[in-house]
């Protein structure tokens, strides 16, 4: 039976550990935070990152990267995308056998627009990369750890690896994995939806209601589609679990950090205050930069994403910026 290494023992790393622990696999979690590592080993909990639920007693954690990487043939990345390149660089120094890399983090690198699969290709010697799978979809750790029914997608250019991850992570009680070959689409949708989630939080923070949020999700999906198609995604992915599915949950759920961060910004806080009050990563803030650069480079019409960028980086007033969207020229849907 495969052994899995989870890089990042945070909220989602713990959710994923719960699933594969329930499914009977051996797991080693790695994190730089020694307190979290000790708590997982001693109490099988991770209260600072995931206040609800418990991990299986068999799940172990370490802060020693070499020990972690040596443990298993499947390496699951679940750290903020801002640190993925540096962690992969460290992994490349200690890796001794080929691994299947699985990414569950959601973000795009500013300036390069690189997806995590491309960063893995750049940072890990080809001899040590068996394959790459992106695991993505509407899946908040707070619900997964309580075994609430959740459906996601495993994407890989190599079907056998997407199917392997599908088998390992699926169970018949609460977690079901679909597969696709559209790696580009799944990675892009997972990253870009966080920018729209920030907008959803902002409009809610401004006091707008469900009509506004529904409009935002619908028009936000159109913008995600425009960017994703230009960068090579399949249209069907946009309407699947990793696209529409994840967009809906992240724009509607109180568990979404991006939505929560947007709420604070809509209520008048700036990005720095907002991020300092968050205990978990807000990927949308970083991806908003990459999205803005992609929009500029390819001359894409994406006014919601641009408004998010203007509010958080150019310090535009949130209410005025959102109302500006209402003044754009009238057009067919
Ligand atoms: N939380 C969720 O429900 C959820 C669901 C799906 C996807 N995601 C994605 O998963 C990724 C992680 O999110 P999260 O919510 O688990 O974040 P988190 O903040 O809860 O956890 C991140 C973990 O990474 C660790 N870390 C940071 N820098 C590190 C380094 N240099 N070396 C080793 N460990 C390091 C932190 O100590 C922390 O434990 C994000 O991209 C997020 O979008 C999260």
Note the Cα 238 to chain centre separation in Å. Answer: 15
- Distance separating alpha carbons of residues 197 and 191, to the nearest angstrom: 11
- At 11-44, the pLDDT tens digits run 999 999 999 999 999 999 999 999 999 999 999 9
The pLDDT of residue 279: 81
Return the ligand 1 atom nearest residue 105 CA: 41
> In Å, what is the CA distance from 229 to each residue of 211, 226, 233, 284?
27, 5, 5, 20
* Ligand 1 cavity residues, CB under 6 Å: 8-13, 15, 31-33, 36, 49, 78-81, 83, 87, 104-107, 139-141, 280-281, 283
pTM: 0.97
* Confidence at residue 280, expressed as pLDDT on a 0 to 100 scale: 79
Please tell me the residue having the least CA distance from ligand 1 atom 30.
32
Beta strands at 150-155 and 26-30: parallel, antiparallel or unpaired? unpaired
Which of the four pLDDT bands, split at 50, 70 and 90, describes residue 1?
A: confident
pLDDT tens per residue, range 251-302: 999 999 999 999 999 999 988 899 899 887 899 999 999 999 999 999 999 9
- Strand spans (E) along the chain: 3-7, 26-30, 60-62, 74-77, 99-103, 129-136, 150-155, 175-180
| pLDDT of 220 over the 90 cut | yes
Q: Which domains does the chain have, with CATH numbers?
A: 3-181 (3.40.50.720), 184-326 (1.10.1040.10)
pLDDT of residue 218: 98
CB–CB of 135/103 below 8 Å?
A: yes
pLDDT at 64: 98
User: Looking at the predicted structure, is the pLDDT value of residue 94 above 90?
Assistant: yes
**Helix (H) or strand (E) segment spanning residue 161:** helix 159-169
Atom of ligand 1 nearest to the CA of 86: 31
């Amino acid at each position: 039976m495969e052994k899995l290494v989870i890089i990042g023992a945070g909220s989602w790393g713990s959710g994923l550990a719960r699933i594969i622990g329930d499914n009977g696999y051996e797991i080693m979690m790695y994190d730089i935070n020694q307190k979290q590592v000790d708590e997982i080993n001693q109490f099988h909990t991770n209260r600072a990152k995931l206040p609800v639920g418990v991990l299986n007693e068999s799940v172990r954690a370490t802060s020693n990267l070499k020990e972690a990487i040596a443990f298993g043939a499947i390496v699951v990345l679940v750290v903020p995308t801002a640190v993925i390149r540096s962690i992969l660089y460290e992994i490349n120094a200690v890796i001794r056998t080929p691994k299947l890399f699985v990414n569950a983090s959601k973000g795009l690198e500013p300036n390069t627009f690189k997806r995590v699969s491309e960063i893995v290709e750049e940072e890990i010697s080809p001899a040590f990369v068996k394959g790459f799978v992106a695991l993505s979809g509407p899946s908040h750790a707070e619900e997964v750890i309580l075994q609430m029914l959740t459906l996601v997608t495993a994407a890989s250019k190599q079907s056998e690896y997407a199917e392997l991850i599908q088998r390992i992570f699926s169970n018949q009680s609460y977690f079901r994995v679909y597969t696709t070959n559209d790696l580009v689409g799944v990675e892009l949708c997972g990253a870009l939806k966080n920018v729209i989630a920030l907008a959803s939080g902002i409009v809610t923070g401004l006091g707008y209601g469900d009509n506004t949020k529904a409009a935002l999700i619908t028009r936000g999906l159109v913008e995600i589609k425009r960017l994703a198609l230009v960068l090579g995604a399949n249209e069907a992915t946009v309407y699947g679990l990793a696209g529409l599915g994840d967009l809906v949950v992240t724009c509607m759920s109180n568990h979404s950090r991006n939505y929560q961060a947007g709420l604070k910004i809509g209520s008048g806080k700036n990005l720095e205050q907002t991020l300092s009050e968050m205990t978990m990563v807000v990927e949308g803030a970083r991806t908003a930069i990459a999205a803005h650069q992609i929009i500029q480079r390819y001359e894409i019409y994406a006014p919601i994403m641009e408004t998010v960028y203007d509010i958080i980086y150019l310090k535009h007033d949130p209410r005025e910026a959102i109302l500006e969207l209402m003044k754009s020229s009238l057009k067919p849907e």
